[in-house]
């Protein structure tokens, strides 16, 4: 690509055909729609939109709804096009060329893309032979590399490992580096500690409506931090990035968070059931506190799933991530795997 700057060599367009037919367990989406009250209110509100006006660039109503849910101030919240946009904005805000970013590996793959876009260096912190991460390893890497930015994804995508509040605090208190606490899947885990970001100068929590809130279609994420860090994100973030309709639907969803509790519980129960079934089938499945299960399994099992139009995420040969589906979808998946491992 003649006009692309040299330092971006290796960045390529990524295309992936939308799958609409079959059992889709490859994107950590919710198997069920948001609660019907959310959908009904959203459809009613959409009828009254002034389509010919820009969205509220300050996202006032949505910011306030998020702040209310966490019992914090509006000045500690900002929203973006998924947590992706806000993470990218953070990378842009703090990283100069050749700065060091530390994160677990494997973790959310976009961290490496965002690093590359800043010409920063992503240094991976590896797990043990079972891909289990140890926070003390992270802390010693922090001392060794003096990073500008540290990423903690909890529960970690794609391995599912959850870091306790105490573990996270231990990392935070070991450094003055900026810590991005990516809590995309925290609603499926033991404890939601989003607001610990407000106890420190160097922590931003990132959340999304795409997972437990079952709304990836609307592309809304948010960040929670001290005002100075929120101001920093707002200074870099594009104005008007979140559409009017997305702001409205996200507001309705978070105002009705209690209605989600049942479906979150259902997904957690299905996750535990699916995990046991996979283990029974002698598949090397990882214990997870998210809505997916990381597996090391034979590629021929995936071939059998594909033949049955069941789509899971393949990272490389024998390395997979299965999103927890509905009980029907999980049954189908298990049935195919059972037949294949007989």
Residues between 288 and 307 that touch a second copy (CB under 8 A): none
- Contact flag: residue 51 with a second copy (CB under 8 A): yes
CA distances from 77 to 62, 86, 123, 192, 223 (A): 9, 11, 29, 16, 6
CA distances from 37 to 40, 55, 155, 217, 264 (A): 5, 24, 28, 17, 16
- Contact flag: residue 262 with a second copy (CB under 8 A): no
Please classify residue 228 by burial: count the beta carbons closer than 10 Å to its beta carbon, then call 0-12 exposed, 13-18 middle and 19+ buried. Answer: exposed
Q: Are 248 and 49 in contact (CB under 8 A)?
A: yes
- Contact flag: residue 243 with a second copy (CB under 8 A): yes
Closer CB to a second copy, 158 or 301, in the complex: 158
Write down the least CB distance from residue 17 to a second copy, Å: 7
Q: Which of 21, 36, 53, 130 binds a second copy (CB under 8 A)?
A: 53
Strand order in the sheet with 284-285: 23-25, 310-316, 319-323, 292-296, 284-285
Closer CB to a second copy, 3 or 130, in the complex: 3
Write down the least CB distance from residue 50 to a second copy, Å: 7
Find the part of the chain contacting a second copy (CB under 8 A) among 44-52, 64-72, 152-160, 187-195. Answer: 44-52
Q: What are phi and psi of 77, to 5 degrees?
A: -130, 140
CA distances from 60 to 34, 57, 77, 104, 195 (A): 23, 8, 10, 35, 20
Residues between 79 and 98 that touch a second copy (CB under 8 A): 81-82, 84-85, 88, 92-97
- Contact flag: residue 340 with a second copy (CB under 8 A): no
Closer CB to a second copy, 229 or 288, in the complex: 229
Taken in order 71, 73, 74, 75, is the CA torsion positive or negative?
negative
- Contact flag: residue 50 with a second copy (CB under 8 A): yes
- Contact flag: residue 310 with a second copy (CB under 8 A): no
- Contact flag: residue 11 with a second copy (CB under 8 A): yes
Cis before 191 (ω within 30) = no
- Contact flag: residue 76 with a second copy (CB under 8 A): no
Instruction: Name the token pair of 180.
Output: 């991005």
Distance CA 124, CA 292 (A): 22
DSSP 22: S
Q: Which of 49, 126, 132, 296 binds a second copy (CB under 8 A)?
A: 49
Find the part of the chain contacting a second copy (CB under 8 A) among 9-17, 139-147, 273-281, 333-341. Answer: 9-17
Residues between 107 and 166 that touch a second copy (CB under 8 A): 117
Residues between 160 and 199 that touch a second copy (CB under 8 A): 178
Q: Are 85 and 64 in contact (CB under 8 A)?
A: no
Closer CB to a second copy, 120 or 183, in the complex: 120
Q: Are 231 and 77 in contact (CB under 8 A)?
A: no
- Contact flag: residue 23 with a second copy (CB under 8 A): no
Write down the least CB distance from residue 188 to a second copy, Å: 15
DSSP 311: E
Write down the least CB distance from residue 244 to a second copy, Å: 4
Residues between 207 and 226 that touch a second copy (CB under 8 A): 210, 214-219
The site that binds a second copy (CB under 8 A) totals a number of residues, namely 79
């Amino acid at each position: 690509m003649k006009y692309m700057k040299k330092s971006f060599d290796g960045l390529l367009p990524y295309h992936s055909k939308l799958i609409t037919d079959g059992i889709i367990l490859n994107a950590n989406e919710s198997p069920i729609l948001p609660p019907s009250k959310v959908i009904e209110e959203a459809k009613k509100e959409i009828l009254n939109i002034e389509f010919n006006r820009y969205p509220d660039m300050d996202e006032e109503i949505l910011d306030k709804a998020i702040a209310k849910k966490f019992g914090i101030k509006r000045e500690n919240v900002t929203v973006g096009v998924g947590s992706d946009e806000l993470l990218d904005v953070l990378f842009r805000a703090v990283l100069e060329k050749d700065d060091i970013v530390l994160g677990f590996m494997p973790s959310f793959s976009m961290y490496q893309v965002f690093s590359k876009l800043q010409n920063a260096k992503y240094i991976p912190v590896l797990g043990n032979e079972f891909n289990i991460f140890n926070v003390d390893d992270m802390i010693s890497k922090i001392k060794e590399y003096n990073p500008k930015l540290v990423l903690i994804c909890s529960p970690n995508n794609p391995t599912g490992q959850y870091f306790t509040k105490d573990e996270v605090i231990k990392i935070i208190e070991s450094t003055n580096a900026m810590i991005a606490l990516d809590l995309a899947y925290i609603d499926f885990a033991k404890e939601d500690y989003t607001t610990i970001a407000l106890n420190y100068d160097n922590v931003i929590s990132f959340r999304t409506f795409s997972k437990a809130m079952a709304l990836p279609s609307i592309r809304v994420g948010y960040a929670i931090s001290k005002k100075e860090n929120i101001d920093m994100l707002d200074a870099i973030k594009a104005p008007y990035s979140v559409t009017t309709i997305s702001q409205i639907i996200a507001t309705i969803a978070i105002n009705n968070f209690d209605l989600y509790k049942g479906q979150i519980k259902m997904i957690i129960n299905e996750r535990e059931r699916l995990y046991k079934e996979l283990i029974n089938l002698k598949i090397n499945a990882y214990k997870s506190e998210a809505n997916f299960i990381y597996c090391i399994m034979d590629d021929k099992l995936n071939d059998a799933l594909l033949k049955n139009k069941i789509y899971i995420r393949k990272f490389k040969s024998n390395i997979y991530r299965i999103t927890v589906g509905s009980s029907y979808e999980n049954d189908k998946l298990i049935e195919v795997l059972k037949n294949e491992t007989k």
